[in-house]
Structure 1
Amino acid sequence: MSESITTETGEKRVPTQDERELLDQLLDPKVQESLSVLVKELPKVTELVNMMSKSYDTVQALATDDVLKNDTVEFMSEILHPVKNSVKDVAANAIEAKDEAEKSSEVIGLFGLLKMLKDPQAQKLFRFVNAYLKVSGEKSNQK
Structure 2
Amino acid sequence: MSKSAVDQASKSDSNLDSHTSITTEEQIDVLNRLLQPEIQQSLNVLIDNLPKLSEMVIMLIKTYDVAHSLVTDDVLKKDTIGAMKQFIEPLEENAKTFAANAIEAKDRAEANSSTIGLFGLLHMLKDPQAQKLFRFIQAYLDITNEKQK
Structure with bigger helix share is: 2
Structure 2 match to 1:106: 114
- Map 1:8-19 to 2 at 5 A: 16=25
Q: CA RMSD in A?
A: 2.5
Which deviates the most, 70-79 or 85-94?
70-79
TM-score by length of 1: 0.74
Structure 1 match to 2:79: 71
Counterpart residue identity of residue 42, structure 1:
L
Separation (CA, whole Å) in 1 of partners of 2:60 and 2:102:
50
Pair 1:48 & 2:56 matched: yes
SS state at 1:99 partner = helix
Separation (CA, whole Å) in 2 of partners of 1:137 and 1:38:
56
Deviation for aligned residue 1:86? 0.5
Specify every segment of 5 or more residues in structure 2 that has no aligned partner in the other structure, as ranges.
1-20
Tell me which of 126, 130, 139 is aligned to 1:131: 139
Separation (CA, whole Å) in 1 of partners of 2:34 and 2:117:
88
Which deviates the most, 96-105 or 34-43?
96-105
Deviation for aligned residue 1:20? 6.0
Separation (CA, whole Å) in 2 of partners of 1:21 and 1:39:
22
Structure 1 match to 2:13: none
Identity of aligned residues (%): 52
Separation (CA, whole Å) in 2 of partners of 1:64 and 1:52:
18
Structure 1 match to 2:44: 36
SS state at 1:106 partner = coil
Deviation for aligned residue 1:124? 0.5
Structure with larger Rg: 2
Distance change in 2, residues 1:40/1:111 (3 Å): same
Deviation for aligned residue 1:83? 1.1
Distance change in 2, residues 1:27/1:64 (3 Å): same
Which deviates the most, 86-95 or 110-119?
110-119
Deviation for aligned residue 1:121? 0.6
